[in-house]
């Protein structure tokens, strides 16, 4: 009887093992293991702040996985870094890279939204809207940036940066992909504020954002966004006939306005930066040197020879100060100046009009312009 009982136990155990193997094989073969692995990686990505549903929607596939990463994004980004990761759709290679930093230690913050160089033609910043202090920039890829001031951490803010290649966008409907990218970025910011104890004001659900302004230059007479104040100046007398602008938004940390000539060449770039994005240009880079001895300091300045000027204002709500710049641009094809005759009076007037409008919109005071 003992031998028979032992045999039954052995047979039963073997059957159970076989059943477990069969179940495991079925789980693996039907994709259950892969889905579990993907879900686990998304739950752990960047400390668990990645919004899974929005991320899958942005990448266009349910088969999405995440990996930690310390090398792919945010140049010189180790200082102040909280965490970073990238999320990919392994079926089509699309990825979104995520970086979280504390602003007090972060270097070259403006590079996260491709605004480290303000004297060249770049992708204009588009506000995320819905009360988010964030922007999306299209410039050989998608760059997202949000800065959340932490009321419980004096002088500190949380920086959220995202990046994706242009293959994220459907050529037939790129605006839908831009909106999805903005939703991912704002969702990460919301989750990160809770995760890392940043008492802050977040925005609402982002449904869509404005199209890429570079694809939609408009006549000066139709300017009603970031170029509207400058468009009221006498631009046609200076062979300026169209503008590239984005919607004006009081919470956007970056604003741009391009003035274009009759041939469609961008002649002037006007840019406003706030918070850490302004600080990183003003103090931590030489990207806006007006002259050998004239940089974007804390007051204002201009250089008629290089067609550059800048101003500053004091801003509330963790924005610290606003930086406002004007740059004369070169023709993109011949690399020759578009500006044949210096016009310093107009350049100062254009910067002043642009800066006054942006500073007022952001609640800034004490504006100084040359």
β-bridge mates for residue 273, sequence order:
254, 323
Residue 100 pLDDT grade (very low, low, confident, very high; cuts 50, 70, 90): very high
Between the CA atoms of 235, 239, 242 and 243, what dihedral angle is there, to the nearest 10 degrees?
Answer: -60
Whether the pLDDT of residue 275 is over 70: the answer is yes
Q: Are 278 and 320 in contact (CB under 8 A)?
A: yes
The length of the chain is 370
User: What is the model's pLDDT at position 92?
Assistant: 86
Per-residue pLDDT reduced to its tens digit, 232-264: 998 988 889 999 999 999 999 999 999 999 888
Angstrom distances, CA of residue 48 to CA of 88, 156, 192: 16, 22, 9
Residue 19 pLDDT grade (very low, low, confident, very high; cuts 50, 70, 90): very low
User: What is the model's pLDDT at position 211?
Assistant: 93
The encoded tokens of residue 342 equal 């210096």
The encoded tokens of residue 216 equal 């939609």
Nearest by Cα to 188 from 282, 273, 310, 101: 101
Q: Are 77 and 103 in contact (CB under 8 A)?
A: no
Least confident of 55-64, 92-101, 220-229, 289-298: 289-298
Domain ranges of the chain: 42-102+125-210, 212-370
User: What is the model's pLDDT at position 343?
Assistant: 84
Of the spans 99-108, 126-135, 171-180, 297-306, which averages the highest pLDDT? 126-135
Q: Give mean pLDDT, residues 81-110.
A: 90
Q: Are 265 and 333 in contact (CB under 8 A)?
A: no
Share of the chain above pLDDT 70, in %: 80
Per-residue pLDDT reduced to its tens digit, 189-205: 999 999 999 999 899 99
Radius of gyration of the chain (CA): 26
Residue 285 pLDDT grade (very low, low, confident, very high; cuts 50, 70, 90): very low
β-bridge mates for residue 98, sequence order:
85, 162
Whether the pLDDT of residue 1 is over 70: the answer is no
Q: Give mean pLDDT, residues 304-320.
A: 85
User: What is the model's pLDDT at position 22?
Assistant: 45
């Amino acid at each position: 009887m003992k031998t028979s009982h032992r045999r039954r136990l052995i047979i039963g155990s073997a059957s159970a093992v076989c059943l477990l193997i069969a179940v495991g094989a079925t789980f693996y073969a039907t994709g259950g293991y892969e889905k579990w692995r993907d879900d686990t990686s998304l739950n752990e990505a960047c400390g668990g702040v990645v919004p899974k549903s929005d991320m899958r929607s942005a990448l266009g596939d349910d088969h999405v996985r995440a990996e930690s990463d310390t090398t792919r994004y945010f140049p010189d980004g180790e200082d102040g870094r909280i965490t970073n990761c990238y999320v990919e759709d392994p079926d089509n290679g699309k990825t979104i890279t995520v970086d979280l930093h504390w602003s007090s230690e972060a270097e070259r913050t403006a590079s996260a939204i491709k605004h480290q160089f303000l004297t060249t033609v770049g992708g204009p910043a588009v506000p995320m809207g819905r009360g988010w202090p964030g922007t999306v920039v299209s410039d050989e890829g998608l760059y997202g940036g949000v800065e959340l001031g932490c009321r419980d951490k004096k002088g500190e803010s949380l920086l959220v940066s995202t990046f994706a290649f242009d293959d994220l966008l459907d050529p037939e409907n790129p605006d839908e992909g831009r909106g999805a990218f903005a939703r991912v970025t704002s969702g990460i910011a919301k989750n990160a504020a809770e995760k890392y104890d940043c008492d802050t004001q977040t925005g609402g659900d982002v449904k869509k954002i404005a199209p890429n302004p570079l694809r939609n230059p408009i006549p000066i007479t139709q300017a009603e966004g970031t170029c509207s104040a400058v468009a009221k100046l006498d631009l046609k007398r200076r062979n300026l006939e169209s503008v590239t602008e984005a919607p004006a938004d009081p919470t956007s940390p970056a604003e741009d306005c391009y003035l274009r000539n009759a041939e469609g060449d961008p002649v002037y770039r006007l840019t406003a930066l706030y918070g850490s994005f302004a600080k990183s240009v003003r103090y931590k880079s030489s990207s806006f040197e007006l002259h050998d001895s004239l940089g974007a300091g804390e007051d204002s300045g201009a250089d008629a020879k290089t067609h550059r000027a800048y101003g500053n204002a004091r801003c509330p709500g963790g924005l610290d100060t606003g930086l406002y710049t004007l740059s004369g641009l070169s023709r993109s094809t011949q690399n020759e100046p578009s500006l044949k005759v210096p016009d310093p009076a107009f350049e100062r007037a254009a910067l002043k009009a642009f800066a006054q409008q942006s500073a007022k919109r952001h609640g800034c005071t004490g504006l100084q312009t040359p």
